[in-house]
Structures are given as structure tokens and as C-alpha cells.
Amino acid sequence: MTDTILNLEPSLGERARSALGRRNLVLVGLMGAGKSAIGRLVAQHLGLPFIDTDTEIERVSRMSIAELFAAYGEEEFRALETRVIKRLLRSGPRVISTGGGAFINDRTRAQIQRGGVSVWLKADLDVLWERVNKRDHRPLLKTENPKQTLKDLMDRRYPIYEEADITVLSRDVRKDVITGEVLSAILEHCGKDKSA
Ligand SMILES: Nc1ncnc2c1ncn2[C@@H]1O[C@H](COP(=O)(O)OP(=O)(O)OP(=O)(O)O)[C@@H](O)[C@H]1O
Ligand SMILES: O=C(O)C1=C[C@@H](O)[C@@H](O)[C@H](O)C1
Ligand SMILES: [Mg+2]
């Protein structure tokens, strides 16, 4: 006789997965918001494959994002980003972490709104700056005053990220905490929880 009690309740991840159904989960937000880090953890809890669009673009082009910007310019990069995201959305469901500018592009945003549930990881300037200033591989931040550039991007982009289905505040707490908040928000947004 064992006194182990099996917990057969579905986990938060399982309930969120059920609520999501066939839809993709798409993380959007500025550089450093945590889209890649949190996206990967959320995908593990949902039991879905994870993909980062910047990584996928680098894989298909066999160039780094910085090289793509330098060789072809931002416009060509955006066109490639739109094509890659369209393909990923069609072959889901999966968790997709997008590059910081993806949701700002009208065509890409419309595709994301059709093919997935979008989550904006919103963060304030100091949190973002703390995270991005450690590395200098981001082409848009190669300016005289990168912190001011980040602030300008926030001013221009935050009204557009606001169109995402879900907003979660990304801040300096454990990644597990943000991951849990994303899963709870999926449950709430998607309404019915079929497995509960
Ligand atoms: N809640 C958190 N607490 C502490 N560090 C975090 C948290 N979330 C993310 N980070 C760290 O911040 C850095 C930036 O996160 P990440 O690369 O996931 O951002 P991103 O939104 O994907 O940025 P980009 O658009 O440039 O790809 C990483 O080093 C990551 O580990
Ligand atoms: O915010 C942006 O526009 C970008 C963010 C990165 O993820 C990359 O997609 C690229 O550096 C552009
Ligand atoms: Mg990323």
C-alpha cells in the first residue's frame, strides 16, 4: 500500500494548451522584452514546438540579422520576415517569438491576428535597457545614443503593440513568474477551458 496521492488535475500548461486549440501563440514586443526566453518556457509548458523568427530568418538566409540589414536594408529584411512568419503560422500550432519590429509591420500584424493569439510582453525603458545594453548585435541600436533610440522606438511602437490580444508586464521577477502569467492570460483570453 502506498500513500502517494496521484495528482490527476490538469496543470496550468495543459489547461492553457487546451484553451488555445489549433491557434499559434505569438509573442511580440521590443528588443529585450523576453520574447525568446519566455517564449521557450511557455512552449515547454504548453507542450508545443517553439520557434524564434529571428533565428529562423538567420537559418534560411544563412546570414545574421546584422548582415541582412547591412547587405539588403531594413525593407528587404521586413519582406523576408513577413514571408517567414506567414509560413510558420500556417504550419502550427506552435509558440512563435517574433523579432521586435514584426508586429509593427501592417501585413505581418494582420497575419498574426488571423493565425494566432498574440501576447505583448510590455516592459519599461530601464528594464529593456538593462537587458539589451550587454550586447551590441542589434542593428537598430547602433546609434549615437542607443538608450534614446530605444525610448523613441517605445514611443512609436507601444500604441501598436497594444493591439495584441494579451498584455503581460515583463519585469525583473523570475522568468517562471512571467511564464505563469502568460499561461493564465491565455486561459482567460481563450475563455472556455475544454479540459477542466
Ligand atoms: N524575467 C526576466 N528576468 C531576468 N532576465 C530576463 C527575464 N526575461 C528575459 N530576461 C533576459 O533578458 C535578455 C533579453 O531577453 P530575450 O532575448 O528573451 O528578449 P527578446 O524579446 O527575445 O529580444 P530580441 O527582440 O532582441 O530578440 C536575455 O538575456 C534574457 O535571459
Ligand atoms: O525591433 C526591431 O525592429 C528588431 C528586433 C530584432 O528582434 C530583430 O528582428 C531586428 O534586429 C529588428
Ligand atoms: Mg529574441
Q: Is 155 exposed, middle or buried (0-12, 13-18, 19+ CB in 10 A)?
A: exposed
- Residue 157 assigned ligand-binding role: yes
Q: Are 90 and 115 in contact (CB under 8 A)?
A: yes
Choose the weakest-confidence range: 5-9, 112-116, 173-177.
5-9
Q: How far is the CA of 30 from the centre of ligand 1 (A)?
A: 10
Q: How far is the CA of 38 from the centre of ligand 3 (A)?
A: 9
Choose the weakest-confidence range: 67-76, 114-123, 128-137, 156-165.
128-137
User: Which residue has its alpha carbon closest to ligand 1 atom 31?
Assistant: 37
Q: Select from 22, 187, 17, 24 the least CA-distant residue to 116.
A: 24
C-alpha cell at 120: 505583448
- Which letter, b or e, does each residue of 69-106 get, where b requires 16 or more Cβ atoms within 10 Å of its Cβ? beeeeeeebbebbbebbbebbeebbbbbbbbbbbbbbe
Would you say the CB of residue 35 lies under 6 angstroms from ligand 1?
yes
Of ligand 2's listed atoms, the one at least distance from the Cα of 104 is: 3
ipTM above 0.85, yes or no: yes
CA distances to 3, 16, 71, 81, 106 from 74, in Å: 62, 36, 9, 10, 15
Q: How far apart are CA 27 and CA 121, in angstroms?
A: 7
Question: Quick count: other Cβ atoms within 10 Å of Cβ 119?
Answer: 27
Give 136's pLDDT tier (boundaries 50, 70, 90).
confident
Which domains occur in the chain, in start order? 21-183 (3.40.50.300)
pTM of the predicted model, to two decimals? 0.94
- Mean pLDDT of the 178-193 span: 90
Q: Which of 131, 142, 171, 177 to mutate to test the pocket of ligand 1 (most atoms within 8 A of CB)?
A: 131
* Alpha-carbon dihedral 72, 75, 81, 84, rounded to 10 degrees: -70
| pLDDT, tens digit, 9 for 90 and up, residues 12-61 | 999 999 999 999 999 999 999 999 999 999 999 999 999 999 999 999 99
Q: Which of 26, 28, 30, 31 to mutate to test the pocket of ligand 2 (most atoms within 8 A of CB)?
A: 31
pLDDT at 78 over 60: yes
Q: How far apart are CA 31 and CA 101, in angstroms?
A: 9
Q: What is the helix (H) or strand (E) element at residue 70, kind and residue range?
A: helix 65-90
